[in-house]
Every structure is written in C-alpha cells, then in structure tokens.
Amino acid sequence: MEQTRAGEYDAFVAARWSVLFHLARLLTGGDRHRAEDLLQESLVKLWFVWPKVADEAPEAYVRKVLARAAARSARRRWWGERPVEQLPEVAAADDMSATVAERSRLEAALAQLTPQQRAAVVLRYYQDLPDRQVAETLGCPVGTARSHAARGVARLRRLLADVIEPVG
C-alpha cells in the first residue's frame, strides 16, 4: 500500500512539476531560486498529507501552500545569498530573445505588485482559476480576491505602459 502511494506521489510530481514551478516563479516575482525552494517546501508538505489529498485535489493543495508560502516569504527582508545564473549560449537559429525579453518584462512588473495582488493575478489569469478557488487558495473572501486581482491587473497595465511609451 505504501509503495503504491509513493508511486502515485512520484507520478504526480513528475507530471505537474513544470506547471507548479512556473507558478512558483510567477508568485516569487521571477526569482528562480526562491521559486525552487518554495516548490520543494510545498511538495514536502504535500508528501505528509498525500494519503488525505491524493484522491481529492493535490494540485489545489500545492497551489494553496505555494501562494501562502510566497506571501510569507515576501514579508522577509532577506532570503540569504542571491546567486546569479549564467546565461546559456544560444545559437542564432534558436534566438528567442524577444520572447525572453517579454517574459522578463512581465516578471519584473509582477515583482512590483504586492504579494496578495501577485498571487491573485497569477492564480486568476495564469492558472485560470475561478474567483472562488482564488479566494480559497488565498484564504480570503471572494470579494477581496477579486479586489486584489483587479488592482493587480490595473497596476500591471500602468507598469507595462510606462515601459512601452517612447522616451523623449
């Protein structure tokens, strides 16, 4: 029985890792290292409750843990060392610089939102969750979740419009 549950957990993690990691990156404002840490912590918590949530909604559980952990993490002033990744060398044919630049712009703008706004925007528009699930994940009323999402989107529009407008 224990072997079967462990296999189910491994299969879930393997199947959903990239989606959950991308969610964690968005929730941390694009910080890859913090996202990895948050996701790993969330998956450890999932492991301990796996028998209870495996048949229900393990992904919803991980989303909730990620959103709350990201909010807690954002309140900390210092996270330790902040290593810098080396950029991989890309062949000219594989040049995705425009896509990367656009994604980086969006992640930088997301990083400027409050943790609650960022979580609400990411859960609502990236994860495409209904308002009720966003509210459950954030642990707040539906109206508050909608308000966080609306304010976050409005701020994103302002931030991204500032970057697009030509200088001078």
- Read off the pTM: 0.56
Task: Write out the two tokens for 60.
Answer: 């919803």
Which residue matches tokens 């959103």? 67
Q: What is the mean pLDDT of residues 2-29?
A: 87
- Whether 155 has a pLDDT exceeding 90, the answer reads yes
CA–CA separation, 152 and 115 (whole Å):
10
Compute the half-sphere exposure of residue 147: CA atoms within 13 Å on the CB side of its CA. 5
At position 117, the amino acid (one-letter code) is Q
Residue with tokens 């495409």: 128
How does pLDDT run across 56-81, given as a tens digit for each residue? Answer: 889 999 999 998 888 877 666 555 55
Compute φ and ψ for 78, nearest 5 degrees: -140, 135
Which tens digits make up the pLDDT trace of 10-22? 999 999 999 999 9
Asked whether 119 and 27 are in contact (CB, 8 A), the reply is yes
Residue 78 Rama label (left phi>0; alpha psi -120 to 50; beta): beta
Q: Coil, strand or helix: which one is 137?
A: helix
Instruction: Compute the mean pLDDT over every residue in the chain, rounded to the nearest whole number.
Output: 83
Dihedral sign, CA of 108, 114, 116, 117? negative
Quote the tokens at residue 114.
């409050």
Using the 8-state DSSP alphabet, how is residue 85 labeled?
P
Percentage above 70 pLDDT, the chain: 82
State the burial class of residue 98 (Cβ atoms within 10 Å of its Cβ: 0-12, 13-18, 19+): exposed
Domains of the chain are: 2-77+97-164 (1.20.140.160)
CB 112 within 8 A of CB 121: no
